[in-house]
Structure 1
Amino acid sequence: MSLHIQKSWIVIGLAGVLGALSRWSVSFLTESMLALPIFVDTVIVNVLGCFVLGIAFQMGPANELVKTHMKDISAGFIGSFTTFSTFIADSYLLLMVSHPF
């Protein structure tokens, strides 16, 4: 396995951990501390994820580290932060309690 692939795996793993912890933090803040409805955290996370990804793509050409590991950061941080499965699970939960919106 090449050194470049090994570095990519490390960046994906570290970014994934940060993305997952950030996702949990937003969920905890919105549901437990702010007592917002269950789907609000998913909306916030998806909007923030789009924003962060846009900033990363904008910074990419200027920042060598971001440019080199753009796909790794996207797959790791954004992938674990904005999970589509959470959106589906929240949608299912809302349907089960008869609150589609």
Structure 2
Amino acid sequence: MTRLLIIGLGGFLGAIARYGLSSAIGARTTSAIPWGTLGVNVLGCFLLGALMGYSRERPVDSELQFFLRVGILGAFTTFSTLGYETVELFSTGRLREGLVSLFGNLLLGGLAVVAGEWLARWQFS
């Protein structure tokens, strides 16, 4: 039960952070590409990679891992919104923007995890 509460609190904080950052990024662009979703997903992937790298070099309490990985970062990144926005772009004839969004999230997200892990391992080894 305690672990569920820890994850729930992290999820609450991550969802609020995602909404705030995604909205702030989205308010600064007029493009059809959902840059807010891309921004939070890439940042979340980078932070997850950094946490991975750090935890490989230094012990991290398992409850803190659940709070950060599953709670905060799980709610901060948003695969379902990516899927929704991509289908919405495709269905309104904006194929190019949909492809940029879809593959940008996947490619940049993967690279961000690798970069975050590498940076943390380099910093804390």
Tell me the TM-score normalized by structure 1: 0.77
Pick from 28, 35, 39: which aligns with 1:40?
Answer: 35
Q: Residue in 2 aligned with 1:96? A: 91
DSSP 3-state at the match of 1:98: coil
For structure 1, the 5+ residue unaligned runs are 1-5
For structure 2, the 5+ residue unaligned runs are 98-125
Amino acid at match of 2:73: I
How many pairs were matched up?
93
| Matched ranges for 1:20-99 at <5 A | 20-32=15-27, 34-37=28-31, 38-60=33-55, 62=58, 64=60, 67-69=61-63, 70-99=65-94
How far does residue 84 in structure 1 lie from its aligned partner after superposition? Answer: 1.0
Contact 1:19 1:76 in 2 (8 A): yes
Q: Residue in 1 aligned with 2:114? A: none
How far does residue 97 in structure 1 lie from its aligned partner after superposition? Answer: 2.3
Cα RMSD, aligned residues only: 1.8
Contact 1:13 1:76 in 2 (8 A): yes
Q: Percent identity?
A: 31
How far does residue 7 in structure 1 lie from its aligned partner after superposition? Answer: 2.3
How far does residue 46 in structure 1 lie from its aligned partner after superposition? Answer: 1.4
Contact 2:6 2:66 in 1 (8 A): no
- Structure ranking higher in helix proportion: 2
